[in-house]
Amino acid sequence: MSEARAPGLLRTTWVLVRKDLLLEWRTRARANALVFFALSTLLLFSFALGPDTTFLRRAAGGTLWLALLLASVLALGESFRVEQENSALDGLRLAPADPRALFLAKALSNTVLLTLVGLVILPVLSALASVTPVLGFGRLLVVLALGCLAISAPGTVYAAIASHARSRDVLLPLLLFPLLIPAVVAAAKATSLVLEGDPMLQFSSWLGLLAGFNLVYWSLGFALFPRVVED
């Protein structure tokens, strides 16, 4: 019954991020399925929009973020399915792991996964719509990371709520999509500006909206997640 020195919030978060990424690596088939789903969505949107490359170029930002948004539903739902198996989440709660660390770790792991999916499908989008990042690849990476962070924070909270429901696969997008409209619009607009140029200097405004969305929803997730997993 010795008293061990329990790790703090950041250390616990790191331990759990490592666990989540290790699980993703062990079950690579899931990540592969996610990439192929996102690629299929990208191709379907491109075919639906037609062969006009000017139109495809203008729609490239929106197409990218719709593909990532739809893929995120699979990723988020799956991230809590592994926690349901053998009641592993209860095991973490009883360890005890700080529920705020559980939120940070799960949301960060989902962000990493979605960003990687985004990086894989970007070259395909580039080829389909004949686009290159006019404002530089660095800014495109910043938008991609901020957009994936914006999906992951509320997505992790809602995936945890939906994981208790029988119709979880339907419930998650119903809860999540309306909430993400501002983030997806901002990410799509910012991406389009990076790809097509920014003559009106709007890029920083859309990036600011995305950063603000992140600030609000990461704070809310951090504060509310303990109630979600405990009550």
Partner 1 sequence: MSNALEFQDVSKRFGRTWAVARLSFALPVGQSLLLTGHNGSGKTTLLRLLATVVRPTQGKVLLFGEDAALEREALRPRIAFLGHSTFLYEDLTARENCALLARLLGRPVREADGLLETLGLASRAEQPVRTFSAGMKKRLAIVRLLLKRPALALLDEPFGELDPEGILEMETHIRALSHAGTTVVLATHQVEHGQSLCTTRLHLSAGRAAST
Interface ranges with partner 1 (CB under 8 A): 1-2, 4-7, 12, 15, 19, 22-23, 26-27, 82, 85-88, 90-97, 230
In the complex, the smallest distance separating the C-beta of residue 47 from partner 1, rounded to whole angstroms, is 36
Q: What is the 3-state secondary structure (H, E, C) of the chain?
A: CCCCCCCCHHHHHHHHHHHHHHHHHHCHHHHHHHHHHHHHHHHHHHHHHCCCHHHHHHHHHHHHHHHHHHHHHHHHHHHHHHHHHHHHHHHHHHCCCCHHHHHHHHHHHHHHHHHHHHHHHHHHHHHHHCCCCCCCHHHHHHHHHHHHHHHHHHHHHHHHHHCCCCCHHHHHHHHHHHHHHHHHHHHHHHHHHHHHCCCCCCHHHHHHHHHHHHHHHHHHHHHHHHHHHHC
- Nearest to partner 1 of 98, 131 (CB atom): 98
In the complex, the smallest distance separating the C-beta of residue 29 from partner 1, rounded to whole angstroms, is 11
Q: How many CA atoms lie within 13 A of 126 on its CB side?
A: 13
- Nearest to partner 1 of 54, 86 (CB atom): 86
- Nearest to partner 1 of 66, 160 (CB atom): 160
Amino acid identity for residue 207 in this structure: L
In the complex, the smallest distance separating the C-beta of residue 152 from partner 1, rounded to whole angstroms, is 21
In the complex, the smallest distance separating the C-beta of residue 4 from partner 1, rounded to whole angstroms, is 4
Q: How far apart are CA 37 and CA 50, in angstroms?
A: 20
In the complex, the smallest distance separating the C-beta of residue 19 from partner 1, rounded to whole angstroms, is 5
- Nearest to partner 1 of 16, 56 (CB atom): 16
- Nearest to partner 1 of 6, 223 (CB atom): 6
In the complex, the smallest distance separating the C-beta of residue 1 from partner 1, rounded to whole angstroms, is 5
- Nearest to partner 1 of 46, 79 (CB atom): 79
